[in-house]
Amino acid sequence: MLNAGVLDDTGTTRDGFQIHFGINYMSHALFLKLLLPTLLSTATLPGSDVRVVSLTANAFRMHPESGIEFENLKSAHEGAGLFGGFVLYGQSKLAVLLQGKELARRYPQLTSVIVHPHRSNTGLISNLPFWKKTLVWIGSFGDMASVEVGAMTQIWAAVGKEVENGIYYESNPGAKGALENASEDQDLSKKLWEWTENELKRFE
């Protein structure tokens, strides 16, 4: 279960990635790369059900116009502007979604599930400045779930019998989420996968 994230931060990780992209996406990509041999080996066992559950957010729709700005992924984006943090967050969550779908295409013997677990009142939101926290609440139309309710979708993705490989589910367990241009772009997901593989070579 790939689940870690930050929102509305600037700067870079110590490895040099823009902090949203480094924590929300690259850390998961490295973890997945390290686990992949074990996952694939386990998938050959009789009766195995090997799943990778990737947590994105429906805020992936706030991604930059190009989808993934590869040329800026190692920039601190200090001058991103008032809403720049949300755009960078959206880009990182689009990357998570694309990676999950590409994983399903490359390794169909695994079950790769991508979920938006609901807008949940975790520290990701409660630690925002007041005005930005207010924007999130307004954008949620007051529909902010508890942590317990927010966890239901990812738990369902981990154990539910109806889960399909490579599908994006949104909020309610079993509800398929709507996608749009960049999130359905297989060329972009392939480019991201190959770019990521090249970047992760330094950790081998």
Q: Are 86 and 77 in contact (CB under 8 A)?
A: no
Please report the pLDDT score of residue 97 as a whole number. 97
Tokens representing residue 86 in the block: 């949300």
Which residue in the list 89, 101, 168, 169 is annotated as catalytic? Answer: 89
Which residue in the list 25, 93, 168, 169 is annotated as catalytic? Answer: 93
Please report the pLDDT score of residue 63 as a whole number. 92
Q: Are 149 and 120 in contact (CB under 8 A)?
A: yes
In terms of CATH architecture, what is 19-203? 3-Layer(aba) Sandwich (3.40)
Does the active-site annotation cover 176? no
Please report the pLDDT score of residue 86 as a whole number. 83
Please report the pLDDT score of residue 141 as a whole number. 54
Which position has the higher pLDDT, 188 or 174?
A: 188
In this model, does residue 167 exceed pLDDT 90?
Answer: yes
Please report the pLDDT score of residue 24 as a whole number. 94
Rounded to two decimals, the pTM is 0.88
Per-residue pLDDT tens over the stretch 130-159: 556 666 656 655 566 677 877 888 899 999
Domain regions of the chain by residue span: 19-203
Q: Are 19 and 11 in contact (CB under 8 A)?
A: yes
pLDDT confidence tier of residue 123, bands split at 50, 70 and 90: low
Per-residue pLDDT tens over the stretch 100-113: 999 999 999 999 99
> What percent of the chain is modeled with pLDDT above 70?
83
Please report the pLDDT score of residue 29 as a whole number. 97
Handedness of CA 190, 10, 60, 116 (dihedral sign): positive
Question: For residue 46, how many C-alpha atoms fall within 13 Å in the half-sphere facing its CB?
Answer: 0
Does the active-site annotation cover 93? yes
Considering only 68-72, 137-141, 169-173, 174-178, which range has the smallest mean pLDDT?
137-141
> What percent of the chain is modeled with pLDDT above 90?
61
